[in-house]
Amino acid sequence: WVCSLSKAMSVRVRFAPSPTGLLHLGGLRTALFNYLYAAANNGKFILRIEDTDQSREVPGSLENIQNTFKWLGIKFDEGPSTGGRFAPYIQSQRLNIYQQYALDLIQRDKAYYCFCSKKRLESLRTQEGKGGGYDGLCRHLSSKQVHDKLQMGQPQVVRLKIPISGETGVNDLVYGNVQFNNSEIDDQVLLKSDGYPTYHLANVVDDHMMEISHVLRGEEWLPSTGKHVL
């Protein structure tokens, strides 16, 4: 699918793999679509490394990605090796940026601290008829309760505060106007307890800051776009 993020004349697209092993053929296909779209529109093709899930990182993956494109003769206009005005292009080097955006969302009542334990979350996932999603318990905590828990150093994550009703739409250049029921979107974790962002925060922040004009990726990512728009 192809989503237009900006009405600006300049085309800026990105390939944003995770360094979790050898470059997958499907990922290479997505990269080629981005590269060709940028080339056809006199735009910029950017490499961004999404390494926020440190447990899955495989040493040497970044080098493999870069060597693969070098072998193909494809050059990035911006990226970890190329540099650029939006550096750094490795997400683990941008943690303070994501943490600041998460705090801003909390202050604007668009996100909230969640103190639920892993045991409770696991219990929710196994409850029949609940869909396995988060039940929003911590979104109803008072300011004093949140303050007291933070003062005690209680482990927490930051969750996106999805509107309870209504719909969220995205303009897809392939599928047209796609609507998502907000009631079916989970209060997604944005910032983990270790201070690292999830994909759903880092991806949106970077696309915004790096002035990405179009997102081209597999249709399996379309269902998650509603929370990215929110």
Euclidean distance between CA atoms 224 and 198, whole angstroms: 13
For residue 80, what pLDDT is reported? 96
β partners of residue 168 = 180
Euclidean distance between CA atoms 145 and 147, whole angstroms: 5
Structure tokens at 32: 């080629």
Q: Which of 143, 149, 152 is nearest to 115 (CA)?
A: 149
Q: Between the CA of residue 85 and those of 28, 144, 211, what are the distances in Å?
A: 25, 42, 11
For residue 33, what pLDDT is reported? 95
For residue 6, what pLDDT is reported? 57
For residue 68, what pLDDT is reported? 94
pLDDT in tens, the chain (230 residues): 556 665 556 999 999 999 998 888 889 999 999 999 999 999 999 999 999 988 888 999 999 999 999 999 999 999 999 999 999 999 999 999 999 999 999 999 999 999 999 999 988 888 755 556 899 999 999 999 999 999 999 999 999 999 999 999 988 888 899 999 998 899 999 999 999 999 999 999 999 999 999 999 888 888 888 899 88
For residue 31, what pLDDT is reported? 95
Q: Rounded to two decimals, what is the model's pTM?
A: 0.89
Q: Helices (H), strands (E): how many in the chain?
A: 7, 9
